[in-house]
Structure 1
Amino acid sequence: MHILSLFSLAAIASVASTQAVSVSGCGKPIPRYFPAPGQSKTLRLPGTDRTYRLHIPANYNVSNKTAVYFSFAGAGRNASEQEGLSQFSNPQFNPNGIAVYPNTQNGVWLSNPKANTSYPNDLDYTNHLLDYLEENLCVDTGRIYANGKSNGGAFANVIACNATVGSRFAAFSIVSGAYHNAIDVPGVGPCEPAPREEGYPFLIFHGTVDQTAPINGNKSANILPVIDILEQWAHINGCGLDSLWTSNVTTFSHPMVNHVSWACDGRNGIVQFYREGNNGHCWPCTRPNDDYISMGLAKCPMGHYVFNATDYIFDFYSRYRLNV
């Protein structure tokens, strides 16, 4: 396996020269067309035909720098559906942060061969949206995080691989990633994140009976095995070409769940994996969510799961910030 030749859109030229915005929204009133604190609203990014859903926490203060959490929906799903699935707007999991749910151009994100690669592409859109949020809200630029489900999770991986956009995010999480090997998609290049002291923290969840994006990949659908992605980030974070996990332990009271953790270059647990026995292409949740309801027992055999992935995501994010 060639770790650094795994798919990414890292080399797309249209975003390569874009610089992070330096204008701060701290001290400014919330724009009148934004949602009020404690609420969510779907908006259009000015100057584009792209939309996103924005949630501002109830305790938002224009003078306090606030973390931002992006969550990208799977193929064919929209921002509102991802808000309900991820629960990133739920104060039980995220009482203090801004949540952002971008929408796709044509139903899929970059990494999927059917994605729209024309300018401005999904990377440009993400970069411009982040600029816009930083201009209008009091954003903590050291605490910006990316998450995604399925194709949206694969796009979170694409973001991390991009030296310009990925360098703005402190940590990444992926649920049931559908990692298309997009090496033949126009503009695709090697995974080349910007070097940084903090490394690239990655948390990945995947079900062992996932039929949509099988955990061991699907050659006919050009989907990579999850282990390829884990080893990619273990290597990038300093574990070396022959990177191995440092622990492989059963968690909870359910022997079906395994938690694997890598310690790379002194960064303990910077890459982590939850291998969900008997779970399909479903966001792990202790209550039936839209995944379990819409996909049914044939694809999600338990009807719910033994832990809430969102709990683990926010705990993971809390350990990492950028030195900006």
Structure 2
Amino acid sequence: MVAWRLLTLGLLFSGACVASPTGLASIRSASGCGEEPGIGLNQRINATLPSGRTYLFWVPPNYNQRKATPLIFSFHGATRTPDSQADLDLLTTPFFNSDHIVVYPSSGEYGEDNGRYWRGAPQVLDDVDDVAYVLEILDAMESQFCIDRARIYATGKSQGGMMTNNLACDPRSSARIAAFAPVSGSYYVNVTGTECTPLTLNFNCHPARKHVPIFIFHGGHDDTINYGGGPRSSECLPYIPHFVAAWAARDGLSDTPEGVGLLLDAGDNATLYRYGSRSQKNLVEFVYGGNHVGHQWPATIPNSDSIEHATPPATFNASSIIMDFFGRYTLRGRKCGRGGYRG
């Protein structure tokens, strides 16, 4: 996993475990435990829900139906597909992931051009409930596979990052998903004109838990979802540091980072900001991808994002950092040494 060097004195990560208590009475493995999976392992599988909506999923080759397995949702961006997101995050490859099931939901199609967008985007009507769709997928996966209900996570890019944030903010999904990691997210707020104030925007966000772990990524050269925010598609985008600070405040932390430092071996001034102290240390984290990282899933090799936006590869892999972050949290709280928990 990716390591990082903090350049400010006193910011080195301590070995002590900290808590993110949920108040949940118990968390059990899914009903699919003990059942033969009935599908090929290490393959991308297309599935259809009773509602008619589809999704893609992948089960690691070492899956054991008698062992509770963690699960990651990964959301594609606007106009993209589940397959394109799998090609982008590479979470179905052993380089980044060998033991988590990964699910790639599929957005609805809207407008005359049947564009693919998530709820929260300006193109999607308010009565669309993509959170309910995601939880329907989760129910289906839990009935078929031995899912560790304490270790369910969400990530996504662009509008997929927005959808990840939607899940973190919704009381239904934030009660079931342990941690979140939006990448290059488009966090639309439905205001226009003089009400579009990127540094002070208010967000409609009401998670079911007091302390939601979230790791946010954004590049300084993003010319699609501008780091500075502002009007877009007749709505408003926040200044990204304001969006991050709002999450820290929502989690009961100071909106000023406790630590600021550079990622180890990551050039282009890629910077890590950490929020929270004591029992909530590093509950909210943010990577500023650097001055030349555009609207992309940061990776050290060229991918469809960096090619499309004519930007160089990043100097770090977001997927490695995300997997490390997810590995620190469950719905019980933050993991301690040797599998214990506090909280």
Report TM bin, short chain: 0.7 to 0.9
Match of 1:268 among 281, 285, 290: 281
Match of 2:166 among 150, 158, 169: 158
Alpha-carbon offset, residue 214 of structure 1:
0.6
For 1:285-296, list aligned pairs within 5 A: 285-295=299-309
Deviations 1:259-313 (A, max 9, x none): 1111156211111111111110011111101111223x2xx2x2x1111110000
- Aligned AA for 1:51? T
Is this contact kept in 1: 2:174–2:209, CA < 8 A?
no
Structure 1 residues 110 and 237, CA gap change in structure 2 (3 angstroms)? same
Inter-partner Cα distance in structure 2 for 1:124 and 1:202: 21
Which residue in the other structure is 1:26 paired with?
A: 33
- Aligned AA for 2:102? A
For 1:205-220, list aligned pairs within 5 A: 205-220=217-232
Query: RMSD in angstroms over aligned alpha carbons?
Result: 2.1
Inter-partner Cα distance in structure 2 for 1:139 and 1:61: 10
Inter-partner Cα distance in structure 2 for 1:280 and 1:200: 27
Inter-partner Cα distance in structure 1 for 2:204 and 2:314: 36
**Which structure 2 residue ranges, 5 or more long, are not aligned?**
1-26, 110-115, 193-202, 334-343
For 1:163-182, list aligned pairs within 5 A: 163-182=171-190
Is this contact kept in 2: 1:237–1:265, CA < 8 A?
no
Inter-partner Cα distance in structure 1 for 2:232 and 2:98: 43
Is this contact kept in 1: 2:29–2:148, CA < 8 A?
no
SS of residue in 2 equivalent to 1:269: coil
- Aligned AA for 1:234? A
For 1:1-324, list aligned pairs within 5 A: 24-31=31-38, 34=39, 36-45=40-49, 47-106=50-109, 107-118=116-127, 121-182=129-190, 190-196=204-210, 199-221=211-233, 222-240=236-254, 243-253=255-265, 254=267, 256-264=269-277, 266-277=279-290, 278-295=292-309, 297=310, 300=311, 302=312, 304-323=313-332
**Which structure 1 residue ranges, 5 or more long, are not aligned?**
1-19
Is this contact kept in 1: 2:71–2:147, CA < 8 A?
yes
Deviations 1:81-137 (A, max 9, x none): 000001111121110010000000121111112124435x20110111101111110
Which residue in the other structure is 1:14 paired with?
A: none
Is this contact kept in 2: 1:21–1:134, CA < 8 A?
no
SS of residue in 2 equivalent to 1:49: coil
Aligned residues: 288
Structure 1 residues 203 and 286, CA gap change in structure 2 (3 angstroms)? same
Inter-partner Cα distance in structure 1 for 2:284 and 2:97: 22
Inter-partner Cα distance in structure 1 for 2:263 and 2:81: 32
Structure 1 residues 173 and 23, CA gap change in structure 2 (3 angstroms)? closer
Indicate the structure whose relative CO is greater, using CA pairs within 8 Å and at least 6 residues apart: 2
SS of residue in 2 equivalent to 1:52: strand
- Aligned AA for 2:76? A
